[in-house]
């Protein structure tokens, strides 16, 4: 008795199955996504011309932490200036009250300044400009 062969599966059906099973986007999906991104970019550009940004992180406005000082210095420059003011070394609290930056930002800046050799750690939480 001869074996009966079932209906063969087409290559297109097999590809479609794998694309659906592994969540692989199709060309149509990518076109939809691109169209959405274009609309968002236009919306951001039109909102960006209206003035100051109004992003909020952690319940606080981001503008307070990223606003440049009167001299136009960067955040690194501002922290370094504060550390230079204290001859015996600036503590973390002094830096935070003088700059108004949040804790994470100050820690990142101090790490980078120490790494590039602009400051050194005198003791835990006490930093001196070189």
Three-state secondary structure readout of the chain: CCCCCCCCCCHHHHHHHHHHHCCCCCHHHHHHHHHHHHHHHHHHHHHHCCCCCCCEECCEECHHHHCCCCCCCCHHHHHHHHHHHCCCCEEHHHHHHHHCCCHHHHHHHHHHHHHHCCEEEEECCEEEEC
Instruction: List pLDDT tens digits, range 59-118.
Output: 444 444 444 555 568 899 999 999 999 888 899 889 999 999 999 999 999 999 999 999
74 and 125 part of one domain: yes
Q: What is the pTM of this model?
A: 0.45
CA distances, 34 to each of 29, 30, 64, 100, 128 (Å): 9, 6, 33, 39, 50
121 and 74 part of one domain: yes
* Cβ atoms 118, 130 nearer than 8 A: yes
Which CATH number characterizes residue 95's domain? 1.10.10.10
In a domain? residue 57: no
In a domain? residue 1: no
12 pLDDT above the threshold of 60: yes
CA distances, 17 to each of 9, 14, 26, 97, 108 (Å): 11, 5, 12, 60, 47
In a domain? residue 63: no
Range of the domain at 40: 12-45
CA distances, 65 to each of 1, 62, 100, 127 (Å): 82, 6, 7, 21
Instruction: List pLDDT tens digits, range 16-60.
Output: 899 889 989 888 999 999 999 999 988 888 887 655 544 444 444
Count of domains in the chain?
A: 2
In a domain? residue 40: yes
* Cβ atoms 97, 60 nearer than 8 A: no
């Amino acid at each position: 008795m001869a074996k009966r062969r079932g209906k063969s599966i087409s290559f297109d059906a097999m590809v479609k199955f794998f694309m659906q099973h592994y969540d692989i986007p199709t060309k149509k999906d990518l076109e939809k996504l691109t169209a959405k991104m274009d609309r968002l970019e236009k919306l951001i550009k039109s909102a960006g011309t209206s003035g100051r940004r109004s992003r909020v992180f952690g319940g606080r406005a981001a503008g307070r932490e990223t606003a440049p000082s009167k001299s136009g210095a960067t955040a690194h420059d501002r922290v370094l200036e504060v550390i230079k003011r204290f001859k015996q070394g600036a503590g973390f609290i002094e830096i935070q009250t003088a700059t108004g930056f949040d804790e994470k930002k100050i820690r990142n800046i101090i790490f980078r300044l120490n790494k590039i050799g602009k400051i050194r750690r005198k003791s835990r939480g006490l930093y001196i400009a070189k």
